[in-house]
Structure 1
Amino acid sequence: MKLSEYVEYDAIGLASLVSAGEVTPLELTRLAREAHDEVNPRVNAVIEFYEDAETVAGADAGPFSGVPFLRKDIGAAEAGRLEEQGSRLFKGHRSNADSYFFRRARDAGLRTLGRTTTPEFGISGFSESILNGITGNPWDLGRTAGGSSAGAAAAVAAGIAPIAHGSDGGGSLRTPAAWCGLVGLNPSRGRISGGPNNQDGKFGLSRQFVLCRTVRDMAAALDVFSGPHPGDPFVIIQPNRPYLEELAQPTDTLRVGVARTKWGEVETEPDVLQAVEATAALLEGMGHIVEDIEPPYEPAEYSSILLGLSDLGASSLETAARAMGRTISADTLEPVNLKLYERGRNLPLSHPGHLQEAIRRMRFRVGEAVHAFDILVTPTMPTVALPHGGIYCATNPTLSAEEYMEADAALYQYVGVFNVTGQPSVSLPLAQSTSGLPIGVQIVGRSGDEVTLVRIARDLEEAQPWSKRRPTVQAGAADSHL
């Protein structure tokens, strides 16, 4: 298999070739390494391609048998591997326990070959950190790949691996999916266990999953990673059949709420709004009932929750630094994160209770506003991928902690709200701007109803296919003409 052929397959397609004996897992690992060596110097998506990549464990059978996989450098961990969280404070830190997520990855046949970039502590939606530098968007290297699953998205878009681990605490899967032309699902709260060390991260706002290129890979990944483990604090209803089988099931007539107005301070670009309008028209043509929906929350509600969660993390950060024999300073933390840490150092004992109540109020308010709809259609992001730098980066020394969180809430206005509510939401690469940049459209389901999202995502992929679109930087481009 040539590299130009490797990049044409999704993860299920590669696994099928392995099962048929047409290619071996070792060959796929070497192709991933070849892809990495060709494009990673340009995109800076993978910060470590494992030296022992050719011998990493993975089941010989399973839906993803032999498929190359990558780990985001924060979130689900691999025992003994580096996990530096994009921060100088954690440089050289190794995890001491395997996450349930990566146990399931190995059982499904995935070969985890390396780790990908993330902004420090995953706090920023922009793809840069002092520790690891800038990750470029394969569609335009001068623009951000999004965040915080920055390297994962850039690596998949550029063809290093067909699927990669990511996590989403406020849009961190969906934002890079939208800006890099990928499928990015943030599952329902409770769908994917965060165990054994982080079962309900950030009051349930943060979840682990993957970035990929096709709906069938998304469905297969749900089958692999879904399900509770003993000790999980929050367990939701399990599906009646495998999600892959849902791809063959009809979609019921749905009541669809469409967001045609902005939900935050940043204006929605005309190309993005046109993509939402086109998706709404497509769904209406399929027989669904389409209605407009007004903004279901106030931006100040969300930015206050972001600040509260950051405040709550100050003591745990101090504990981690002390355990490593390190100090927190401008030499170990980026400017915004240092300000957030200093703000949260002296919390009143009542703070967690107040934060929990703020989350409850917002969840209730949004829940009432969207209850009448089976799905929502919104922009994933109000803009196409933005140039690197600026007010959305935690490396920016000019912003206060409050200013940074207000800017974050303004730009990520359509995504973070559904981390608070716990609803599943997927960004689909349904359109492109007039300049050729990807535009993601977000489909939001009822809590626990990934089944409907799988079916409607399949319908939209069939009606508006995106598989032939390719970024400027992609592995194998040279040998595709040989």
Structure 2
Amino acid sequence: MSHEVLRLDATGQARAVREGEVSARELAEAAIARIESRDGTVNAVVHRRFERALKEADDVVPGAPFAGVPTLLKDLGWAMEGEPYRAGSRVLDGMTTRRDGYAVAKLRRAGFVVLGRTNTPEFGTAITTEPVLSGPTRNPHDPRYSSGGSSGGSAAAVAAGMVAVAAASDGGGSIRIPASMCGLVGLKPSRGRVSSGPSAGEPWAGFSASGMLCRTVRDGAATLDVIAGTMPGDPYGAPAWRRPLAEEVGADPGRLRIGFLTAHPDGSAPPDADLVTAVTGAAGLLEALGHHVEPGGPSALADEDFARHFGTIVAAHVAADLDEVGRWRGRPVELEELEERNRILGAAGRGLGVVGYLASRDWIDAFRRRMAAWWEAHDLLLTPSLGVAPFRLGWLPPGDVSTAPGRTRRAVAFTSPVNATGQPAISLPLHRTADGLPVGVQLVAAAGREDLLVRVAAQIEAERPFAHPASA
């Protein structure tokens, strides 16, 4: 019974608890047993709070939408009162947080039982989860491969069947890339949809968004319903939906106008055979479902200056985050304490002037308007989620500063522009390589239109249900 209930998605697990088929404690115990049996290989969970979680499962409030459903929190953002917070970095080892973040409080009120925290690259600045602090997270589909990043620990935990959903965040692709690598549904919300408070206002100038990694579209919709909403003091919020997002599952999306790209217009992500197959296959499926599908995308994507301005803003915020960490722990963070990638980012950010930073923000503002113009005549953009084929652990050598930046730029070519514009996007597991590795496709909607993404994603899932062999 315990193994079978773990195969259910979070919505199914909640129903099983509600209808008395399994107790919240039994479900938590099953998830804990799964973590203990699989995590020695996968290395997804870097902090375990099993005893406290079991007590919380015993005390779960009946009637909450996800009463008794186990979950895990990414160890970056997602602060939980009294729990360790390391963000994948040695400079935070031993630190704990004093209060729940707003999104965590909402998860707990919804009845989720938090079993622990998941692995992440140092400060979330890599597309693979291989921190020096806690070691690499391995892809459950093939342990030689990366689970992606920066939410690679959460993705691997869901793909391995440890939990049905896990908390994540996305500043340049960090939900969608692990979703693609691990064969999951990864929905990045619109800017301002989920509060980053009370500790932050707009992380990475609003590029970063919090969300959940799931196995089904309905879980992606229902969990976003739980954590969405502007909180007092937030700098802005996303426009409200006309009804809960979960009610969009199964709703007719109508005949949509969809453009698709198999290669990035700026040439940074040359076409890979599996990426082309994934996108053209998805395009054919969408056309068969009655949508108007044609090649093409926003011309603004071809602007080669984007990566420079995006990188400037990220470097500035990494430097500011390091200063904040120094104040929190009581002594400044020295660059020598960091992994090489973050030494470079931190140094670049500390060397920036205010005028240069603001100039890059202004450039991104103009880029956002150029991108938005394309959606005036289209409903969705279809692309690969990850701009490169699935890659092995070590593909981004930690000390090789000549190779890693170019590879990273190719990998995030389709995701990071959507962080800059603040649009919602979803990665769906619609293809596998000859070796059985997942390859995701990305759908991007206009700002605020998660409802449209959920409608069409659910339509795709109903036509071609997603398989999750690694969770068996």
TM-score range, shorter chain: over 0.9
Aligned 8 A contact 2:423 2:447 in 1 = yes
User: Partner amino acid for 1:30?
Assistant: E
2: CA distance between counterparts of 1:373 and 1:430?
22
2: CA distance between counterparts of 1:404 and 1:299?
18
2: CA distance between counterparts of 1:220 and 1:470?
23
Secondary structure, counterpart of 1:15 in structure 2: helix
**Normalised by the size of structure 2, how large is the TM-score?**
0.94
Aligned 8 A contact 2:300 2:367 in 1 = no
Match of 1:287 among 280, 287, 290: 290
| Cross-structure match for 2:434 | 434
The Cα of 1:361 is off from its aligned counterpart by 2.1
The Cα of 1:156 is off from its aligned counterpart by 0.3
Residue pairs, 1:249-268, within 5 angstroms: 249-263=251-265, 264-268=267-271
The reply on whether 1:274 has 2:273 as its aligned counterpart is no
Secondary structure, counterpart of 1:126 in structure 2: coil
| Cross-structure match for 1:353 | 358
Match of 1:328 among 330, 333, 348: 333
| Cross-structure match for 1:22 | 21
Assess, with a 3 A threshold, how the Cα gap between structure 1 residues 332 and 219 changes in structure 2: closer, same or farther: same
Aligned 8 A contact 2:258 2:292 in 1 = yes
Aligned 8 A contact 1:303 1:409 in 2 = no
Aligned 8 A contact 1:62 1:109 in 2 = yes
2: CA distance between counterparts of 1:265 and 1:352?
24
Assess, with a 3 A threshold, how the Cα gap between structure 1 residues 397 and 458 changes in structure 2: closer, same or farther: same
2: CA distance between counterparts of 1:17 and 1:387?
38
The Cα of 1:389 is off from its aligned counterpart by 1.2
1: CA distance between counterparts of 2:351 and 2:320?
9
| Cross-structure match for 1:91 | 93
Aligned 8 A contact 2:212 2:224 in 1 = no
The reply on whether 1:45 has 2:44 as its aligned counterpart is yes
Residue by residue over 1:185-218, the C-alpha shift from the partner in whole angstroms, topping out at 9 and shown as x without a partner, is 0001111111112232112110111000001101
2: CA distance between counterparts of 1:383 and 1:69?
30
Structure 1 residue ranges, 4+ long, deviating more than 6 angstroms after superposition: none
Aligned 8 A contact 2:424 2:449 in 1 = yes
Aligned 8 A contact 1:305 1:358 in 2 = no
Match of 1:209 among 208, 211, 214: 211
2: CA distance between counterparts of 1:277 and 1:315?
42
Assess, with a 3 A threshold, how the Cα gap between structure 1 residues 7 and 384 changes in structure 2: closer, same or farther: farther
**Normalised by the size of structure 1, how large is the TM-score?**
0.93
Aligned 8 A contact 1:306 1:405 in 2 = no
1: CA distance between counterparts of 2:415 and 2:131?
22
| Cross-structure match for 2:229 | 227
| Cross-structure match for 2:187 | 185
| Cross-structure match for 2:409 | 409
Deviates more, 1:154-163 or 1:431-440: 431-440
| Cross-structure match for 1:480 | none
Deviates more, 1:18-27 or 1:306-315: 306-315
RMSD: 1.8
The reply on whether 1:389 has 2:388 as its aligned counterpart is no
The Cα of 1:369 is off from its aligned counterpart by 3.6
Residue by residue over 1:426-477, the C-alpha shift from the partner in whole angstroms, topping out at 9 and shown as x without a partner, is 000111112211110111111101111111001100111113x402xx4xx5
Residue pairs, 1:457-476, within 5 angstroms: 457-467=457-467, 469-471=468-470, 474=471
Secondary structure, counterpart of 1:65 in structure 2: coil
| Cross-structure match for 2:9 | 10
Residue by residue over 1:33-70, the C-alpha shift from the partner in whole angstroms, topping out at 9 and shown as x without a partner, is 10011000000000111142212375432221100010
User: Partner amino acid for 2:466?
Assistant: W
The Cα of 1:379 is off from its aligned counterpart by 0.7
| Cross-structure match for 2:300 | 296
Aligned 8 A contact 2:88 2:120 in 1 = yes
Aligned 8 A contact 1:188 1:422 in 2 = yes
Aligned 8 A contact 2:194 2:210 in 1 = yes
The Cα of 1:98 is off from its aligned counterpart by 1.2
The Cα of 1:243 is off from its aligned counterpart by 1.4
| Cross-structure match for 1:399 | 401
| Cross-structure match for 1:455 | 455
Deviates more, 1:339-348 or 1:291-300: 291-300
Residue by residue over 1:63-110, the C-alpha shift from the partner in whole angstroms, topping out at 9 and shown as x without a partner, is 211000100000121111111000001111111221110111011111
The Cα of 1:233 is off from its aligned counterpart by 1.4
Assess, with a 3 A threshold, how the Cα gap between structure 1 residues 319 and 216 changes in structure 2: closer, same or farther: closer
Aligned 8 A contact 1:276 1:378 in 2 = yes
Deviates more, 1:29-38 or 1:256-265: 256-265
Secondary structure, counterpart of 1:443 in structure 2: strand
Aligned 8 A contact 2:325 2:333 in 1 = no
Residue pairs, 1:60-99, within 5 angstroms: 60-99=62-101
Residue by residue over 1:199-251, the C-alpha shift from the partner in whole angstroms, topping out at 9 and shown as x without a partner, is 32112110111000001101111211111112111122211111121124211
Aligned 8 A contact 1:143 1:385 in 2 = yes
2: CA distance between counterparts of 1:79 and 1:299?
43
Gaps in structure 1 of 5+ consecutive residues: 478-482
The Cα of 1:327 is off from its aligned counterpart by 4.8
User: Partner amino acid for 1:281?
Assistant: G
Deviates more, 1:285-294 or 1:137-146: 285-294
Gaps in structure 2 of 5+ consecutive residues: none
1: CA distance between counterparts of 2:91 and 2:291?
51
Assess, with a 3 A threshold, how the Cα gap between structure 1 residues 332 and 60 changes in structure 2: closer, same or farther: farther
User: Partner amino acid for 2:442?
Assistant: Q
Match of 1:166 among 163, 168, 173: 168
The Cα of 1:322 is off from its aligned counterpart by 4.5
User: Partner amino acid for 2:426?
Assistant: V
Match of 2:121 among 110, 119, 122: 119
- Figure out how many residues of one structure are paired with residues of the other and give that number: 466
| Cross-structure match for 2:379 | 374
Aligned 8 A contact 1:86 1:129 in 2 = yes
2: CA distance between counterparts of 1:46 and 1:320?
23
